[in-house]
């Protein structure tokens, strides 16, 4: 039978793949996708704990996480389009104007 | 049977995620992200949360990924330059994340495995989630709608052709 640990391990691996992508890739679009992966890993953990405690509140929290992800992507991609207009690149190494 | 589907969906999810991170082409990354999110939605179904699984498919595949692919097509950034070799920072990133994975997995494996609690047939349905959403979580729900409004306004302001008082 599938236990809590199985699902949590999938969630952990998904999260860590997201972290690796965020730290390795320099394309801002891929960075956003890595953030989506991490948010999904968190969602999976929420739903897993909800299932194994018989508490449906986890579904509601996962729903909120999805809404926050949607808002983040909308604003983030709008900013990215503006950055591309100004600098014609989405490489985060080249968007370092405010670096000290 | 359930175990088989669990491994199948986990494989879909994780291989999609690896492709998102590893593929040099941004558009292929986006396609792999769709595959990965679909796998997560299937896992939600296995976890008796059909409402969240449906929302996952609708919101991510229907809204977020369309936005992503639209922006990728608009910018077409993959043709700008070849993918650079993995830098020292990237190697460090992989090391840090695998270290994190090892620590977390070792911690989780030492849990005593709780049994699945018996759930009613109504569990995770639209009815139950909706009742929770409009009673216990009413205030967060309203705050969420406010957040979406702010995000829409922000996206519209950022997306305008000319910024007021600034350069065009």
Q: Is the pLDDT of residue B165 over 60?
A: no
Signed CA dihedral, B50, B56, B58, B59: sign only: positive
* More confident call, A93 vs B2: B2
The three-class DSSP label of residue B122 is: coil
Bridge partner residues of B117 (DSSP): none
Of B47, B79, B111, the one marking the end of a domain is B79
pLDDT digits (tens, 9 = 90+) for B3-51: 899 999 999 999 999 999 988 888 899 999 999 999 999 999 998 888 8
pLDDT digits (tens, 9 = 90+) for A64-87: 999 999 999 999 999 888 888 887
> Are B58 and B3 part of one and the same domain?
yes
Its domain, for residue B70, covers 1-79
pLDDT digits (tens, 9 = 90+) for B57-102: 998 888 899 999 988 888 876 544 545 566 787 888 889 999 999 9
ipTM given for this complex: 0.90
- Kindly state whether residue B1 falls inside one of the protein's structural domains: yes
- Kindly state whether residue B136 falls inside one of the protein's structural domains: yes
Nearest CA-CA partner of A30 in B153, B75, B55: B75
Pick the CATH number of A28-89 from 1.10.620.20, 3.40.50.12280, 1.20.1260.10, 1.10.287.3510: 1.10.287.3510
Q: Quick check: A21 and B21 CB within 8 A?
A: yes
At residue B88, the pLDDT reads 80
> Are B75 and B134 part of one and the same domain?
no
- Kindly state whether residue B90 falls inside one of the protein's structural domains: no
Q: Residue window 45-64, chain B: list those with CB within 8 Å of chain A.
A: 46-49, 51-52, 55-56, 59-60, 63-64
- Kindly state whether residue B96 falls inside one of the protein's structural domains: no
A-B CB pairs within 8 A amount to 236
Of B79, B109, B141, the one marking the end of a domain is B79
Of B25, B56, B79, the one marking the end of a domain is B79
Q: Residue window 71-90, chain B: list those with CB within 8 Å of chain A.
A: 71-72, 74-75, 77, 80-81, 84, 86, 89-90
| Structural domain total, chain B | 2
Contact A14, A40 (CB under 8 A): yes
H helix count then E strand count, chain A: 3, 0
- Kindly state whether residue B60 falls inside one of the protein's structural domains: yes
At residue B83, the pLDDT reads 54
Mutate: best of B10, B33, B47, partner A, most A CBs <10 A: B47
Q: Quick check: A24 and B94 CB within 8 A?
A: yes
d(CA A77, CA A35): 13
* Number of residues written out for chain A: 100
> Are B143 and B74 part of one and the same domain?
no
The three-class DSSP label of residue A48 is: helix
B92 contacts on A by Cβ (under 8 Å): 23
What CATH number is associated with residue B72? 1.20.120.1200
């Amino acid at each position: 039978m599938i236990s809590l640990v199985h699902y949590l391990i999938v969630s952990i691996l998904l999260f860590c793949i997201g972290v690796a992508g965020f730290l390795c890739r320099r394309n801002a679009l891929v960075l956003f996708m890595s953030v989506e992966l991490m948010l999904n890993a968190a969602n999976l953990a929420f739903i897993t704990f909800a299932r194994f405690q018989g508490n449906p509140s986890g579904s509601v929290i996962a729903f909120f996480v999805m809404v926050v992800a949607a808002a983040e992507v909308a604003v983030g991609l709008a900013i990215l389009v503006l950055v591309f207009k100004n600098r014609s690149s989405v490489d985060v190494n080249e968007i370092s104007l405010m670096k000290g | 049977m359930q175990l088989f589907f669990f491994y199948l969906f986990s494989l879909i999810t994780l291989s999609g995620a690896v492709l998102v991170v590893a593929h040099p082409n941004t558009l292929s990354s986006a396609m792999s992200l769709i595959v990965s999110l679909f796998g997560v939605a299937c896992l939600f179904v296995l976890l008796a949360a059909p409402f969240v699984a449906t929302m996952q498919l609708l919101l991510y595949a229907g809204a977020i990924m369309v936005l992503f692919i639209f922006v990728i097509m608009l910018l077409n950034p993959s043709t700008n330059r070849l993918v650079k070799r993995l830098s020292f920072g990237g190697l460090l990133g992989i090391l840090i994340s695998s270290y994190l994975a090892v620590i977390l997995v070792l911690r989780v494996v030492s849990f005593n495995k709780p049994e699945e609690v018996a759930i009613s047939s109504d569990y995770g349905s639209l009815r139950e989630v909706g009742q929770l959403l409009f009673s216990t979580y009413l205030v967060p729900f309203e705050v969420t709608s406010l957040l979406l409004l702010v995000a829409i306004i922000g996206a519209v302001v950022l997306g305008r052709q000319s910024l007021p008082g600034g350069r065009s």
